[in-house]
Each structure stands twice: as structure tokens, then as C-alpha cells.
Chains A and B, each alone.
Chain A
């Protein structure tokens, strides 16, 4: 049976979402701090993109578009609950906090670290570590040159290292 353009595009989207689902979900988990909310956001994203139907054919880099849409969805979800970043600082961080025992503790630690960084650096780190993206993909998602994606990552990591060293935590 010959597939219509719309069906082809919906199949293309479904296959992409299926192959990327673990990375998409993990990124959303470590952005939102909730597996349930991450599930909702990723499913919501899929349904929203599905509605574009045949128009998906106009998107050349569908994977980049999906990740870009996901980062926006997560930002919107955080905005709706008016919580962007952890208000906790590293001042009262103990060495025990550096060895989390479950997802909640791990997320809290990561949020405290990310809160030290400018948004553009934390976003690159999140896409790299939690979204599992390569730097060229991050460059495409964030619409920045490859060298900028790499330098944002490096500066972010350096800043975290300095902050942790200053407090004798590493």
C-alpha cells in the first residue's frame, strides 16, 4: 500500500521518537526532577508534533527540532510551576551530598550545581550529559557554532570545578 505523505512523516516521527525515547526521557527527567512529569512532557511533545502531519516534511533536521522542542517544553513546564532553578547554594553542601543514594538526591545535587552556571552553559551540559547529544547536534539544537557548543561545555565544567575546589569538595 502506498503511504501518503502524512503517514510517511508520522512514521518518520514515530521512529525517531522511539529510537530517541530514552535520551529524551532522561533529559526531561533531569530537567524537571520527576519521571512522571518527564513522561507527560515527552508524550505531549509527540502528540503536538504529530499534529503537524505532512508539514513535518519541511523540517530537515527533525532530530534537532525534536530536542529543541523538548527543551522549550521543559522550560514551559518549569515556568508553569514557577521553578526555574534550585535556590540552594553550595555553601551547605557536604561530601555526603556528593554521593546521592537515589534519583531525588541526585537531581537535587545536579540542580544545585547547574544553578551556578549561566543558562546557556547549563543547557549545553544537560544536552550533552542527560540528552546524550554530540557537540555538533547540540550546536544545531541551540543554533550556535560547534566551537561555541564545546567552549560553553568546557567553561561550565571549569566553573563547577572551581566552585567545588574552593569548598574543598573535590
Chain B
């Protein structure tokens, strides 16, 4: 039987017209079913993506202003990130090496020993080149030039395959970053607690925390934690507009 969804008596169109939305904002939200995962998502997240997000968190600390809301501070931080032609993130991460040539070289692993490294991102037009350098015994280095991924050990090329590398587009604004993060199963939330701005993931897979002193206007720390509270990534320093490294 077809349901009658009409009103039995005519209602007042003048009132309904008054209530009808004319300035409804639009949304860029998009929902896709998550793909099957081989391992917990926080482990599969690219170290580069995590580092880039931590970079955002770090800049929050640098540009923190007392009168701004957390969201405003983040927006400004992202603008600064985009306006910089290059930046270099010095980090310490707990990672294990993968022998699978199709996999990421270093996989975030809360049981692994901490290793230091850097992520250098350099924008050239619409493309972003990225280099990850690890302070391991083989002096491992990974290069993404927007088309190809190359892995070097002791200065020798050991792997080359097509790879688009990191896309900086999501970092253009919070509105673009949120769906990007959501596609990785993360939902970024920005909140202030006293002197601290915390960027966290509501799905509890990864928590990125940047702490800074508003009163002093300087970064105190930035780190990425697993659900069991193990710090897997710490940003030690971030430099902007750095000259290219070798």
C-alpha cells in the first residue's frame, strides 16, 4: 500500500515559505566504504602523511596567538605551510623496515626502536617533491618526485617504481584536509586546553598532539601517539624555506 505523505489539511504556505532554507551552506563531504586492511590503520598511514600532519601541528605551535580559536590558528598555520616553498621536518619515529618492494620502506611500529629522520618537502609549481632520509646503518633515503619513487641505500639506487608521492592539496585548507584525513579513517578535531592546542583523531587510531605555550608563543612539543599511548613519532624541529639538501 502506498503511504500517503501529504497532509490531510492544507497547511499555511506563508509559514512554510518562511522556514524554507534559502542560504543553506553546501558540503564537500564524501563517503566511501573503507577498503579491507592488512594491518591496523595507524600502522598503514604513510610516515610522510603523518609527518606532514605533524608539521601542521608544529606550525600551530609557532603561530599560536592568545586571542585566536584553535580552528583559526590551524587555518593560519596551514596558510603558512602552503606559502612556504619548502620545509624540512626533523623527526624521531618508531619504525620497522619492510622487505616488500611494493610496500612502504619504513612502517610505523610501536614495538620498534626509535630512529631519527627528516622529511623534506619542496614545491615546484603544482608538484611537490619529497625526500625522507633515515639515520640508519644503510643511510636509507626515499625520494618522490611526483612521478617516481626511488629508494637509495648507501648512495646506491635499490628500488624504483611509479608513485605519485604526497599530494599537498589536502593541506590547502581545513575543509580539504578533513575529507583527506577521513579517507584514512581519521577525523581531525582541534581543541584548546589551557595553554595547549590539541589536534586529535576522534576514531582513536592516531593522536597527534602539539603542545605550545601561548604565553611564550613557542612550541613545546609535537608528537603522534598510538591508542595504547606509545609515542611513535616526535617532531623535533621544522624549518621553512630551507635550501635544497643533497
- A63 vs B7: C-alpha distance when bound (angstroms): 22
Cβ of B39 under 8 Å from chain A = no
Which chain A residue lies CB-closest to B179?
A43
Cβ of A98 under 8 Å from chain B = yes
Binds A, one of B10-18, B133-141, B209-217: B10-18
Interface flags for A143-170 (1: CB within 8 Å of B; 0: not) read: 0001000100110011011001000001
Which chain A residue lies CB-closest to B28?
A39
Contact across chains for A47 and B29 when beta carbons are under 8 A apart: no
Partner of B24, one of A4, A30, A154, A158: A30
Contacts of A54 in B (CB 8 A): none
Contacts of A106 in B (CB 8 A): 21-23
Given contacts A26-B21, A113-B18, contact A11 B33 (CB under 8 A): yes
- A130 vs B19: C-alpha distance when bound (angstroms): 9
Interface of B is mostly: loop
Cβ of B202 under 8 Å from chain A = yes
Interface flags for B187-223 (1: CB within 8 Å of A; 0: not) read: 1010000000000001100000000000000000000
- A35 vs B5: C-alpha distance when bound (angstroms): 29
Nearest Cβ on chain B to A152's Cβ, whole angstroms: 11
- A106 vs B22: C-alpha distance when bound (angstroms): 8
Nearest Cβ on chain A to B178's Cβ, whole angstroms: 7
Interface size band for B: 35 or more
Partner of B11, one of A13, A47, A146, A157: A157
Given contacts A39-B27, A103-B23, A103-B25, contact A161 B33 (CB under 8 A): no
Contact across chains for B14 and A170 when beta carbons are under 8 A apart: yes
Contacts of A15 in B (CB 8 A): 31, 33
Contact across chains for B18 and A170 when beta carbons are under 8 A apart: yes
Partner of B3, one of A146, A154, A160: A146
Contact across chains for B20 and A129 when beta carbons are under 8 A apart: yes
- A133 vs B15: C-alpha distance when bound (angstroms): 18
Cβ of A36 under 8 Å from chain B = yes
Contacts of A103 in B (CB 8 A): 23-25
Partner of A44, one of B23, B36, B187: B187
Contacts from B to A (Cβ < 8 Å): 3, 5, 7-9, 11-12, 14-16, 18-27, 29-34, 36, 71, 175, 178, 182, 185, 187, 189, 202-203
Contacts from A to B (Cβ < 8 Å): 4, 7, 10-11, 13-15, 17-18, 21-22, 25-26, 29-30, 35-36, 38-40, 42-44, 46-47, 50-51, 98, 100, 102-103, 105-106, 109-110, 113, 125, 129-130, 134-136, 146, 150, 153-154, 157-158, 160-161, 164, 170
Question: What 9 A-B pairs are tightest by C-beta distance, nearest first?
Answer: A35-B25, A11-B33, A14-B33, A17-B31, A25-B27, A103-B23, A134-B5, A136-B3, A161-B12
